[in-house]
Amino acid sequence: MLGLLGLRISEACHVDIDDLGIERGHRTLLVIGKGNKPALIPLPVPVARTLDAAAGERGTGPLLLTRSGAWMDRYAATRIVHRLAKRAGISHRVGCHALRHSYITAALDAGVPLREFQIADRHADPRTTTRYDRARGNLDRHANYIVAAFIAGAA
């Protein structure tokens, strides 16, 4: 949910099984974001399957549980992310918010327009989205290339 949906850790930890649904033919997740603002997020198929697996046979209650069966909080989630990063051989400390940064950078690299992504990521100011973009100095995706390709295709 953090790396593939770009959720904030607080949003992910507060997901209830009842927040999963279907809207206009799409699997969805309803999250309550900053400022208590609800957001309906469409789920890519692999993410929907993973969330279904996390829910298992349970029909209600928190989606993410600790080993003891308690509601997972941000601290438990952070410990899991640290443990998984270490297991993956990542030498520097990776936090939950780094996954959100990576999600935003990947979306921008994939060509999602900044304005569209700002709305999807629930940022009030586009400058916030731009700050998250770790590859913003990357010349490979400079606007000049996009404009030139557009004009060449239009001719």
Domains of the chain: 2-154 (1.10.443.10)
Q: Which of 74, 97, 101, 134 is catalytic?
A: 97
Q: Which of 14, 27, 122, 123 is catalytic?
A: 123
Active site residue 8: yes
pLDDT in tens, 110-133: 878 777 777 777 777 777 777 766
Task: Decide: helix, strand or coil at residue 109.
Answer: helix
Task: Decide: helix, strand or coil at residue 106.
Answer: helix
Active site residue 86: no
Provide the pLDDT confidence category of residue 25 given band limits of 50, 70 and 90. very high
Side chain identity, residue 3 = G
Q: Which of 26, 34, 58, 115 is catalytic?
A: 34
- What single string gives the DSSP state of each residue in 26-93? EEEEEEE-GGG-EEEEE--HHHHHHHHHHHTT--SSBSSB-TTSPBP-HHHHHHHHHHHHHHTT--S-
Q: Which of 14, 27, 122, 132 is catalytic?
A: 132
Closest of 130, 129, 118 to residue 39, by C-alpha:
118
Active site residue 97: yes
Active site residue 93: no
Provide the pLDDT confidence category of residue 93 given band limits of 50, 70 and 90. confident
